[in-house]
A and B are shown apart, each in its own frame.
Chain A
Amino acid sequence: MVAQTPARAPARWRVGRLVERRVETPNAQTLVLELPDWPGHLPGQHVDVRLTAPDGYQAARSYSVAGPAVDGPGGPRIELTVQRVPDGEVSPYLIDVYREGDPVEVRGPLGGWFVWRPQETAPVLLVAGGSGVVPLMAMIRARRAAGSRVPFRLLYSVRTPADVIYADELRRRARDDLGLDVAYVYTREAPDGWRGEPHRIGLADVNNHGWPPDLEPLCYVCGPTGFVETAADLLVGLGHQTRRVKTERFGPTG
């Protein structure tokens, strides 16, 4: 793998405000932040979010941006989707306490490797585990926004149907975004009428729903460490070149 990202201007802390909140699943919400002088970002990039207590104590965590910035009346808006981490410090605040109009400090965009550029022409395979779908959804949304016709496939592993983030939008896009296929792996509980048993992602899933290696697709894998290790190993085992498999692993970053 070779870094090909041009040097960027240093990112500084900006003050954003919450303008909208959407409940995605019982444990995940999307926060729409207004960031007046946001410089723009590439699909797949993330931001650092910093909270400050009255005594000056600070806590910062990284969150993927979920889609392209959009213009609002008060300037650009970006969306972050936050999964609640049990006993977490930042995610419970953002989900339970943080209110519309409240300020929050945001630094970014960050990360120049796990990105998809709309001018790319190779087919794309997205492999998501749980909330790892967020930066991959950013790529799906950016593809449509840019009018790209690059074939995209999303393979999305979730515990149960109720844990699918962006469920309605993915259903709609799978129908309307030409060239986008969406497939699911359920690890605990499958929907009624599903063929097969709940299982963890395996060779057959990646082989059936991915692209053959000779098409030289770009593969993006995002999720918890164990999931990413498994999925990336499967892709390499199927013959994908390691430099075409980009990964992002979620640690316990509550």
Chain B
Amino acid sequence: MGIVSPGFQGRPRTAEPALPPGQYLTEDFPVLSAGPTPRVPLDTWEFVIATETGTEFRWTWDELMALPQETPTVDIHCVTHWSKLGTSWRGVSLDTLLEGVDTAADYAQAHSYGGYTTNLPLDDLRDGQAWVVHTYDGEPLPGEHGGPARLLVPHLYFWKSAKWVRGVRLTVEDEPGFWETAGYHDYGDPWREQRYQGD
């Protein structure tokens, strides 16, 4: 427990569902981005998985849409302390995309239109834990929230859910991404409050 702040009560406790430590609930959908929102036309959009041996698996927008679609409803947690519960998405599971991808890699680095990168263990993309989503709350995903498509990995802090995702590179070594290089935690588990390096 920290040092008590004289006169601080905080919001009523009973209204708060179980949140990871240090998080508060928001009904809005705040935006955290490091630069301008890239505008990605659908006719040239593609998603690429590249293995550690250089083999590439590509999907156009139409090909992605033709894959089996899932509709996860998940809680999301941003490192800037807000959490949003019960968000509903539509997209393709990484299990579907990784089917038939032969790899011995332990890590993945997602990369985005606009140059953003983020890293995570490959196992965290498997077993129903991650999707490439294109629809939020029944509507096409807006650009400022990562449209046309973003990664969704809700069990990690939301910066791991790369906006404007264009592909995943599978790597043998762990390669820190954009925020990970700038002092944020390499893994980013909200329930263990892994916000920054050393947490």
Contacts and interface: CB of A to CB of B under 8 A. Distances in A.
A31 B122 CA distance: 44
B198 A10 contact: yes
B3 A97 contact: no
B81 interface: yes
Contacts of A243: 35, 115
A193 to B, nearest CB: 35
Contact of B183 (A7, A15, A60, A228): A7
A103 to B, nearest CB: 5
Contacts of A235: 36
A233 B114 CA distance: 13
A251 B2 contact: no
B31 A56 contact: no
B183 A112 contact: yes
A225 B5 contact: no
Interface string A217-249: 000000001001100110110000011011101
Contacts of B172: none
Contacts of B114: 1, 242
Interface stretch (A20-28, A47-55, A136-144, A148-156): A47-55
B144 interface: yes
B31 A249 contact: yes
B182 A3 contact: yes
Contacts of B182: 3, 5, 111-113
Nearest to B145: A225
Given A7-B183, A13-B2, A99-B6, A60 B36 contact: no
Nearest to B22: A60
B37 interface: yes
Given A60-B81, A62-B81, A112-B183, A97 B8 contact: yes
Nearest to B142: A229
Contacts of A196: none
A89 B11 CA distance: 7
A12 B2 CA distance: 12
Contacts of B178: 1, 3, 113
A50 B23 CA distance: 11
A52 B82 contact: no
A107 to B, nearest CB: 8
Nearest to B178: A3
A-B complex: 10 closest residue pairs judged by Cβ atoms: A10-B198, A251-B30, A112-B182, A232-B36, A3-B181, A52-B2, A51-B5, A97-B7, A225-B31, A5-B182
Interface of A: 1-3, 5, 7-13, 15, 48, 50-62, 89, 93, 97-99, 102-105, 110-114, 225, 228-229, 232-233, 235-236, 242-243, 245-247, 249, 251-253
